[in-house]
Structure 1
Amino acid sequence: MDYAELEKIGLNKNEAKVYIELARLGQATAGELIKKTEFHRNIVYDNLEKLIDKGLVSFITEGRRKIFQINPPDMLTDFLDKEQEVLDDKKKIAEKIKKEVKKQFDIIKEKQESIIMRGVKGVKLVMKEIIDKNYEYISFGAPEESNEVMGKHFWIGVARKMKEQNQSVKLLFNESLRYWGETLHDELDYGSKEIKYLDFPTEPITQTLVYGSKVAVVVWTEKPIVTLIDNQAVADSYREFFKVLWSQAKD
């Protein structure tokens, strides 16, 4: 039993230390625990109260002294069961709030055709939607920075999921990323139906993804900026533009 294990089940560092020292002593006064833990008396008393509230510690009174002791080990799982009940209640409340927020979000979404997201979470959100809904997926302009920011394992994972569900994929890379296309070919058997190359006059730092009625333009800075446009006409126009690029690209 160590501090890290107790922290994983919901105790804070101070609670974990007090609990372990009390378990080692069997029974102890607050004063003895203060010496063992080297905590200030207020910290020991405060964390003993928290452990009592969690059902993990109890005390008996001898004269004017309180003697603390750990409760039977079954209380550890009972404590987690109670935590789960609280978590379940919170989840029910969150589901209720989620429905209310979704109604409001849908109203806002109808009024707004584009949103901007910052950070890798925005990229992950876009890729998750593409995979979950099995959209036809086209992409062009990916720079080396996309690998540096997200990590190659992330993109391999994305490509593998798309391959497993026979997703329609077309990727147009700059020549500088030919090595990456070859990696996808070697690991996942992606070929010329899925990947082609263009000599862009300058190395792009943006990547354009088209799926469903949406266009996502990712600026690959250290914290990516994702501009997501939800408009069928815009998405269709990008598809037509992509067809032109694809026809000029090399295997």
Structure 2
Amino acid sequence: MFNNTQVIRAYFFKLGLSAEIADIYLALHAYGPQSISDLSRHSGVERTRIYRLMDEMLASNLIEVEVQYKKNIFRAAPITNLQVLIAKKEQDLKDLQTELTQLHATLTKAADNAPATRIQFYKGDDGLKQMYWNQTKGKSENLAILYENMQIRTNLAFFERWARTCNERGLKFRGIINDNFIKTQQDWYGKHSNERLASWQSRYLPDGVFLITHSVVIYDDVTAYYNWKDGEIFGVEMYNQEIADSQRQFFEMLWSQGLPVDDLKGLSREIV
């Protein structure tokens, strides 16, 4: 094997050419013009396989063929001939970018013509993490009715990435919380000091005024329901602008009744 085999193979691979083509080209470059039999011996590639690869190498301008009496002799073409293949791939990339733009326009038009309501069901830890991540792509303010904080369920690494992304995109959050949420916040931040949402306001409602049993988040045209209790881990996203707007009105009614609160300190009484 030649000293620069791995380098050549790696470069050819980036161009979509196989390791066998790289080995054949190296053998031609090292030993000069050869017949198929000689080339098979020097490259370690079977003769029948070489025959099948020759068309690809000719198309890539990697070899030249000299016809002699009853046989063909192959020689390595200048490696700079690959510039033709590179130019073709550059054009292919431009074509793909143009087609992607057209595809996006087509799919967007199809989405505009889709039914007004779409419901997406998620299951398991990864499913609910996907729902949380979908929030980072929203454009409107996030309004939430929260039974517990999310990081006790998602783990620290995910929450930090989620919070950082929300902060980078300037997303705003308001949340209605209860005793259980405050307790989960205090338990969590008693042990952690991770990044938090930069734009977050919360108001407290006691269970006697409004009983919170699960978490709901409203943003854009989405109403998202999260359930992470009693071994049942699932969530539902409802995409409907009218329903989302109705839920916003309900949220604002509760918000007007809530008490401003620091969710890390809680109320003056102890949260148990």
* Band of TM-score, shorter chain: 0.5 to 0.7
Residues 114 and 227 in structure 1, CA contact (< 8 A), matched pair in contact too: no
State the percentage of identical aligned residues.
20
Say whether residues 1:215 and 2:220 are aligned partners.
Answer: no
CA displacement 1:51-82 (0-9 Å, x = unmatched): 22122333223333323233323223331211
Residues 121 and 235 in structure 2, CA contact (< 8 A), matched pair in contact too: yes
Name stretches of at least 5 consecutive residues in structure 1 with no aligned partner. Answer: 199-203
- Matched residue, 1:166: 170
Letter in 2 for 1:136: E
Is the partner of 1:116 in helix, strand or coil? strand
The structural deviation recorded for 1:190 is 4.3
Equivalent of residue 116 in structure 1, options 116, 120, 126: 120
Q: 1:49 to 1:155 in 2, by over 3 A?
A: farther
The structural deviation recorded for 1:144 is 4.7
Distance across 2 between alignment mates of 1:49 and 1:35 = 20
The number of equivalent residue pairs is 233
Distance across 2 between alignment mates of 1:81 and 1:50 = 17
RMSD between superposed Cα atoms in Å: 4.4
Residues 138 and 209 in structure 1, CA contact (< 8 A), matched pair in contact too: yes
The structural deviation recorded for 1:138 is 4.6
CA displacement 1:180-202 (0-9 Å, x = unmatched): 6679x84546479468999xxxx
Distance across 2 between alignment mates of 1:49 and 1:62 = 19
Matching of residues 1-251 of structure 1 within 5 Å = 1-108=7-114, 111-116=115-120, 123=131, 126-127=134-135, 129-130=137-138, 133=139, 135-138=140-143, 140=146, 142=150, 144=152, 146-147=154-155, 152=157, 155-170=159-174, 175=183, 186=193, 188=195, 190=197, 193=200, 208-217=216-225, 227-236=236-245, 238-239=247-248, 240-241=250-251, 250-251=263-264
Residues 9 and 19 in structure 2, CA contact (< 8 A), matched pair in contact too: yes
Residues 143 and 174 in structure 1, CA contact (< 8 A), matched pair in contact too: no
Distance across 1 between alignment mates of 2:130 and 2:90 = 30
Residues 29 and 68 in structure 1, CA contact (< 8 A), matched pair in contact too: yes
Name stretches of at least 5 consecutive residues in structure 2 with no aligned partner. Answer: 1-6, 206-212, 265-272
Deviates more, 1:45-54 or 1:58-67: 58-67
CA displacement 1:6-32 (0-9 Å, x = unmatched): 212322344344344444444433223
CA displacement 1:96-141 (0-9 Å, x = unmatched): 3443333223211xx24124376779559724522xx4x3235545
Distance across 2 between alignment mates of 1:53 and 1:5 = 17
Letter in 2 for 1:228: E
Q: Which has the greater radius of gyration?
A: 2
Residues 64 and 77 in structure 2, CA contact (< 8 A), matched pair in contact too: yes
Higher helix share: 1
- Matched residue, 1:201: none
